[in-house]
Chain A
């Protein structure tokens, strides 16, 4: 089984979010970049398929050279090879088109991407890849088993979960649950050394139009101070929620 894991290079979850160039660009100054958490759960699940079922795992990112440390980390975690499509990611559709091209050329059976990146939160790349290559698609996937050509997946739905059966080729929009937080791997020294020897192929992009344009960013207005209520005067809290906030 050939697996392609799509890796988004995103600011660490603790990052302060600021913008520059007249609020049109994300300010990367002082920001630590990591593998998108939703992608990392998928990558870790892919490692399981590699170790238990002999799968071959390639990771891919659409981005400039600055994303290569993130791909090297994925190699250090255990991926067999990496691909970087050499273009700046500017909208979900154009990224999906680049990735669909990689999938078609590489003949991958299973594509695992995170349900969304934690920066732009578009939530569209995995589904668009599936649409573009006409593969089966499971979003919000929290469990995945593959046996031959058949797959059993569990999808989180609003208020519960459902079990789905489908077949390869398959695209997954993954999230926590594919593996547990405690299953995530920190690369060890051997992994880091081996990652240096593994292939990181740079591909030039195919033609892809942007369907959306990011015009500007805004930050939420600063919040007023909290109103403290004494634990001995909870009637006041109820009064505030009822008469002032009007939420109960």
Chain B
């Protein structure tokens, strides 16, 4: 009856979201009066999970699962849930977890709520709050099935440290034919992804051309941030699609979102609204973004940003 949590890792190392979903699972387990079991696939140092409330780790070492495969990972998690007789399964909102969630839901006859931002307000009926209408509203959803899957919105619940020990147990799920094969992965390894970033620096059409992105990249690098862009910028081909944030692009739920030369169309604001603190730098004081932002600078990006970079470098040097 343990709450099962899928703790994601990359190259053997747990991602930050793994600790967040573990923290969430612990909160649910406390409500239900049960324990937390994590399933970790090809991860090292699983004892770290004990610091976030995990009691037991099912440790999967599997060559077919060396690279992420939604069907294979679903099978592993499903078998873990069946072994533990888990009624609540907690996953993150990473691209991979969102990919496997519906397959897992069908496999376990479980209802699935995605983009959940708070611990359940009630466990009978099992009721959670999630974002809907691309962050323009919240939806209170009840999951009616015996088994429930909760997809926790990244950076919404936070990390809750506990002092505890996670015991480890080897677990060998049966993996069938995977059906989809990864041929190649194209990933910039030394850059923070938008999904994992705590700070995102985003540029819009106000930057006038792709040749001016050097200062965006530099600001991002000073802050350890990911870079993003508005829809027109990706449609114009100035920046890759993967950087487009907004309603039809990626959602951003960072601690700090800095918008430079972005006017703030309603679709853009919806996509970034889950970010905690928003800063806008724009020449036009009437730009809609100023209504959505916490802090604003009315000024020309081409003078403000280089100056901000220098000031931040000095600030960081003192830290």
Using CB atoms and an 8 Å cutoff, list the residues of chain A in contact with chain B: 11, 13-14, 17, 19, 37-38, 91-93, 96, 118-128, 130-132, 136-140, 142, 152, 155-167, 173, 175-177, 180-182, 209-220, 223-224, 226-231, 234-235, 237-238, 240-242, 245, 247-248
The secondary-structure label for the interface of chain B is: mixed
Stretch from B29-37, B128-136, B203-211 forming part of the interface with A: B128-136
Q: Is there an interface contact between B114 and A122, defined as CB atoms closer than 8 Å?
A: yes
B266's partner among A14, A162, A209, A245 (CB-CB below 8 A) is A14
Q: Is there an interface contact between A234 and B195, defined as CB atoms closer than 8 Å?
A: no
> What residues of A have a CB within 8 angstroms of the CB of B174 in the complex?
none
Stretch from B43-51, B141-149, B163-171 forming part of the interface with A: B141-149
**Given A37-B247, A175-B248, 20 additional A-B pairs, CB 8 A:** A120-B132, A121-B115, A124-B101, A158-B194, A160-B186, A161-B187, A164-B180, A164-B182, A166-B179, A211-B110, A211-B144, A218-B137, A226-B291, A226-B295, A228-B298, A229-B297, A234-B308, A234-B311, A241-B279, A248-B315
> What residues of A have a CB within 8 angstroms of the CB of B244 in the complex?
176
Smallest CB-CB A-B distances: 3 pairs:
A127-B102, A159-B193, A131-B106
Q: Is there an interface contact between A235 and B311, defined as CB atoms closer than 8 Å?
A: yes
Q: List 25 A-B contacts (CB under 8 A).
A: A119-B133, A120-B132, A120-B139, A121-B114, A124-B112, A131-B106, A156-B242, A162-B186, A166-B181, A175-B248, A176-B248, A211-B112, A215-B141, A220-B136, A220-B137, A227-B296, A228-B296, A228-B297, A231-B298, A234-B297, A237-B279, A237-B295, A238-B308, A245-B276, A247-B255
CA distance A127 to B100 in the complex (A): 8
Q: Is there an interface contact between A137 and B103, defined as CB atoms closer than 8 Å?
A: yes
Q: Is there an interface contact between B106 and A226, defined as CB atoms closer than 8 Å?
A: no
CB distance from B145 to the nearest CB of A (A): 5
Interface residues on B, range: 35 or more
Chain B residue, CB-CB nearest to A161: B186
| B199 interface hit (Cβ, 8 Å) | yes
CA distance A209 to B89 in the complex (A): 20
What is the 8 Å Cβ interface bit string for chain B, positions 38-77, against chain A (1 contact, 0 not)?
0000000000000000000000000000001011000000
Say whether, besides A211-B145, A215-B141, A248 and B223 are in contact (CB < 8 Å).
Answer: yes
| B191 interface hit (Cβ, 8 Å) | yes
CA distance A90 to B133 in the complex (A): 15
Say whether, besides A17-B137, A217-B138, A37 and B248 are in contact (CB < 8 Å).
Answer: yes
